[in-house]
Structure 1
Amino acid sequence: MRTATKLCGALTLLAATGVAFAAGGDLGQTVKQETNWTAIIMFLIFVGLTLWITKWAAARTKTAAAFYTAGGGVTGFQNGLAIAGDYMSAASFLGISAAIMANGYDGLIYSIGFLVGWPIITFLLAERLRNLGRFTFADVAGYRFRQGPIRTFAAAGTLVVVAFYLIAQMVGAGQLIKLLFGLDYWMAVVIVGVLMMVYVLFGGMTATTWVQIIKACLLLAGASFMAFAVLFHFGFNVEAMFAKAVEIKTNLALNDPKVVAKAAEQGKDVMEVAQNVGRSIMGPGNFIKDPISAISFGMALMFGTAGLPHILMRFFTVPDAKQARKSVLWATTWIGYFYILTFIIGFGAIIFVLTDPSFLDAKGALKGGSNMAAIHLANALGGNIFLGFMSAVAFATILAVVAGLTLSGASAVSHDLYATLFKEGKADSASELRVSRIATLCLGVVAVLLGIAFEKQNVAFMVSLAFAVAASANFPVLLLSVLWKDCTTRGAVIGGFLGLIASVGLTVVSPAVWEDVLGNPKGSAWFPYTSPALFSMLAGFLGTWLFSVLDQSEQAKKERAAYAAQRVRSETGFGAAAASDH
């Protein structure tokens, strides 16, 4: 690991000097561009490096514990960087900066929503997860419950979240590489799928961890360079940057036929209306306009973080609860810093990208779709070399996230279903590892096929659905099973499935899917709001509470009596080390 740490540091230094960065918007319908050889060369260098790491990790991945959790030997600092690398997806880098470029301050709802979920994990879950679990969050949720029903639910919730997150990342990768590398879309998706399967199949969690750490270093370094370059242009005067952005938005509005028509309709001066448009990026109301949608969307982003299986799984890679807490502290630090950078990058894109005709098509729209704002800004600030670097790192970002997602999905199949449910805990490590690798292959093939099938679809709703499902199904069951002594198997399973079905069902009949994807007439959606989390999360919590309270069976009494022992284990860690050694 010392070698990999030095390598990571060297790459960070390289990026910081400028030589050579979740969840999720649609990357737009891109047009195949000329081949960017700089981007391809840097991409190949990164792929070669990560394949070497995979080879190095494969020699250390001989047991199920090593495959799932790197043998529990990752330090808190390393795991914090890896969590940040797992969490800072291409959607965060490309999507949030694009949302801020389009909507100004309103785009911050993504940054704030994604970030504020971490205190919940820090104070309520991180330590308990490490003390109670071995490989998956089902180990924690089902600690004192009947294993069959709870593992079935946990696997279903995990695979649904993983599937929608995977589709979004695969489509994002395909559109990005189609724009930048000149490859066909299907080729880009297949390349991502093959590389992801190689990382997970041979290196397991060890390789995935180090790919995520290196990617996090490169992403933070590249984003830092972009943000500091933007601020340097204004003498590090943030107020001057905002004033310039408002001025540019006002000038663009003056030449917008819609603004001119609106002024004529209202009988106002065009300049007055244009100034209102320009100033609107400094206030709320451009993105989510009704309070219920805002609350529901925010709840999905905030509580969904605490229910994402590939994030929760990372807390089992550290040796003890102290390192788990340290992991969250470092992860929150890096992620918070990164989201501050995306805010500056978004306003920088208004100033440097929207005013440069070379980044716009004949209709005045951004080439490659609106979510290419950060990539074009990299070109404006650092030329073709920096554009190539940021393109390669954006692609690497997707690779790292996809690898983490696949690993959590494979562990749900092999550990929760095969080893615990079908083999009743009697599966040996070798057979469990074999099933996990078969599941990885299957997930990889499914991800590639779905990525190709969804090429022309908007992927934003898939990421929001993943967070809504995690918040509505996984989070209520996880929280109540750990903190509420009266929670029972029946309540957890019924409540969890209610949240799962409600979140998926309401999303399908929302405008994002019913109208935009399925092509039904505007205004025909059965569910009018942006995100279902406010309603489906309530269904998950109420269902878990109600069916637990109504359950007076002998099994339920035993589960309630077992809570005292679970609480001691979760808060002290007594017995956790022995369980991790199995």
Structure 2
Amino acid sequence: MNGHHQTLALVLFSAFVAVTLAITTWVSRNRHGSAEEFYAGGRLFSPMENGFALSGDYMSAASFLGITGLISLYGYDGLLYAVGFLVAWLVVLFLVAELVRNCGRFTLADVVAARMDERPVRIAAGSSSVVVSVMYLVAQMVGAGSLVSLLLGGTSDAARNWTVIGVGALMVIYVSMGGMRATTWIQIVKAVLLIGGAIALTVLVLLRFHGDINELLRAAAGRSGHGKDFLAPGLKYGGDWTARFDFMSLGLALVLGTAGLPHILSRFYTVPTARAARRSVVWSIGLIGGFYLMTIVLGFGAAAVVGPEAVRGANAAGNTAVPLLALDLGGGADSTGGTILFAVVAAIAFATILAVVAGVTLASSAAVAHDLYASLRHRRAKPHGEVAVARVASVGIGVIAIALSLLARDLNVAFLVGLAFAVAASANLPVLLYSLFWRSFTTRGAVWAVYGGLVPAVVLVLLSPVVSGSPESLFPGVDFQYFPLQNPGLVSIPLGFVAGWLGTITSAEPPDEAKHAEIEVRALTGAGAV
């Protein structure tokens, strides 16, 4: 990239960062420091505002950079990520949105602990939420590193590393100063920018091919090097049974994982009622569905216009396909139009990463303070003390996420998010559904459900080709790969449900029928909800 590219994109980066920091500063001057304000923004957001914020939370680097890159490299098989991410929202809409809003206050553990022995349940659910959030953060920071590495020359490891550290520092500032209110407004601004940028690029791609989708697909297949196979299933997940099982595992994780993501569940507490939570999900489904339709056009457009070889040349995992597509659509590397469009798209992508990172960090720091800290003190912590601990926790989580991101910098961000979804679906979803719908569920069942999904999911990832045993692994020089699948969901998700069932039927404690009846009425009617 020439100096003009670098200067203009860096100016736009700086402008967005300045605007978001101004929002954070302004909001922090108008808060009163209560736990409800910090964790839930005072529950004052409308369904439309929260719908935009939900879509902003969900349309991450995995959506804008990762999915588009996978489609440009693998065609039809890359498209499957977009389908899985979108279908997942039906599970959220019909099973958890209203019930979670009525049963909890700030976190997933609030829902489960409402009818259980609080301390062991909060420790288990809080630990799981932190693990899922850190894995999600790693994906976003890898995307940020890939983006700025392209901007500053494409091969600068130092630039990539410093970008990851800078994003980590910014997320700590956003969370510690502004809490949920600032994070929500940053998400809304980011969602508007991202959808606007995607619309502009989609229109330009369609204009390049005169509005003919068939011509676009033929050009993408022709330049892919795979011919018609590029438009058919099996390029990435076809062939042997291991690849096919990996595809089934990925699909299961994507469809079920959203309902267990801590930063998505926490958004339902920012609206005043359960009805508003449901309407928020309807808004987000419309926005996210439209966006994913556009990523399909952008992915095949990148394959047709830029070419998979050029995409791989800039980033082996395909994370830079969208900025490269913008550069070409604007007129090329040496044109003013290409420079401007590249800089705008790069700034939007960077804004996407910053906003999602802020939301995930807030959810994980809330789990540390509201669940782990309060439980380990053996008594209810004071709200101001919880908020102070949450701010400190955001720093610790940021440091851990930065360290892991530097290791995983060569992996595709959509793939990394798929791993986070698998852990969320394995550890969080079983305990959430059992708590909401199974009358006989007990404390032991809840603890076993969390650890019975969390531990196998993490262990299987560590023993998978993701970590060792192949040139694309985190540690390519060693081999302790014993699990053949890259995504553990096919094994770990059923284990989470089975562990919860076994823990319940072997529990000596009788289920609290009266408590369950109380929670059931509250979940379905909203009576007594905070």
TM-score under structure 1 normalisation?
A: 0.84
Counterparts in 2 of 1:54-203, with a 5 A limit?
54-62=24-32, 63-181=34-152, 184-203=159-178
Counterpart pick for 2:323 among 375, 383, 386 = 375
Q: Give the aligned residue type for 2:495.
A: A
CA distance in 2, matches of 1:390, 1:54: 23
Q: Of the candidates 500, 507, 512, which is equivalent to residue 461 of structure 2?
A: 507
Cα contact 2:327–2:342 (8 A) shared by 1:
yes
The verdict on how the C-alpha distance between 1:460 and 1:332 changes in structure 2, with shifts beyond 3 A counting, is closer
Q: Distance in 2 between matches of 1:123 and 1:463?
A: 23
Contact 1:491/1:543 (<8 A) preserved: yes
Asked if 2 retains the 8 angstrom alpha-carbon contact of 1:40 and 1:181, the reply is no
Maintained 8 Å contact 1:32/1:179 = no
Query: In the alignment, does 2:287 pair up with 1:334?
Result: yes
Q: Which residue is 1:14 aligned to?
A: none
Q: Does 1:343 align with 2:300?
A: no
Residue of structure 1 in register with 2:354 after alignment:
399
| 1:34 shift after superposition | 8.3
Contact 2:183 2:359 in 1 (8 A): yes
Please identify the structure whose Cα radius of gyration is greater: 1
Residue in structure 1 matched with residue 184 of structure 2 by the alignment: 209
Could you report, residue by residue, the CA deviation over 1:257-289 in whole angstroms, capped at 9, with x for unpaired residues? xxxxxxxxxxxxxxxxxxxx3111111001112
Distance 1:518 1:453 in 2: 9
Q: What secondary structure does 1:184 align onto?
A: helix
- Separation of aligned partners in 1, 2:147 and 2:209: 30
- How far did residue 552 of structure 1 move? 3.5
Write the distance in 2 (CA, Å) between the matches of 1:190 and 1:34. 25
Q: What SS is found at the alignment partner of 2:466?
A: helix
Whether 2:217 is the aligned partner of 1:242: answer yes
Task: Rate the CA distance shift 1:460–1:94 in 2: closer, same or farther, 3 A.
Answer: closer
Counterpart CA distance in 2 for 1:163 and 1:379 is 32
Cα contact 2:463–2:482 (8 A) shared by 1: yes
Task: Quote the RMSD (CA, aligned, Å).
Answer: 2.1
- 8 A contact 2:319–2:412 mirrored in 1: no
| Equivalent of 1:417 in 361, 372, 377 | 372
Distance 2:40 2:460 in 1: 35
Q: Are the aligned partners of 2:41 and 2:270 in contact in 1 as well (CA < 8 Å)? A: yes
Q: Distance in 2 between matches of 1:550 and 1:190?
A: 47
- What runs of 5+ residues in structure 2 fail to find an aligned partner? 331-337
Check 1:33–1:536 CA distance in 2 against 1; reply closer, same or farther (3 A cut).
farther
The answer on 1:525 being equivalent to 2:525 is: no
2:462 aligned with 1:492: no
Query: Hey, what's the Cα distance between the residues in 1 that align with 2:98 and 2:408?
Result: 39
- Which AA in structure 2 matches 1:53? I
Against the structure 1 CA distance between its residues 518 and 326, is the aligned structure 2 distance closer, same or farther, given a 3 Å change threshold?
A: same
Residue of structure 1 aligned with 2:417, choices 460, 463, 480: 463
Contact kept in structure 2, 1:490 and 1:547, CA below 8 Å: yes
Q: Provide the rounded CA distance (Å) in 2 between the counterparts of 1:188 and 1:521.
A: 28
For the residue of structure 2 that corresponds to 1:134, the secondary structure is coil
**Matching residue of 1:445:** 399
Contact 2:130–2:367 (Cα < 8 Å) also in 1:
yes
Which letter maps to 1:544?
A: G
Instruction: List alignment gaps of at least 5 residues for structure 1.
Output: 1-30, 254-276
State whether structure 2 residue 521 is matched by structure 1 residue 568.
yes
2:161 is paired with a residue whose SS is: helix
Q: Distance in 2 between matches of 1:318 and 1:301?
A: 26
State yes or no: 1:230 paired with 2:178: no
C-alpha distance 542-453 of structure 1, shift in aligned 2 (>3 A): closer
Deviations 1:464-514 (A, max 9, x none): 321111010000000111111111110110121011111111111112223
Question: Could you tell me how far apart the structure 2 residues matched to 1:365 and 1:128 are?
Answer: 44
Q: CA deviation at 1:168?
A: 2.3
In the TM superposition, residue 435 of structure 1 has moved relative to its aligned partner by: 1.1
Aligned-partner Cα distance in 2 for 1:90–1:68:
24
Residue 551 (1) aligns with residue 510 (2):
no
Aligned twin of 2:195: 220
Q: What amino acid maps onto 2:106 in structure 1? A: F
Aligned residues: 510
Aligned to 2:13: 43
Q: What secondary structure is seen at the aligned counterpart in 2 of 1:511?
A: coil
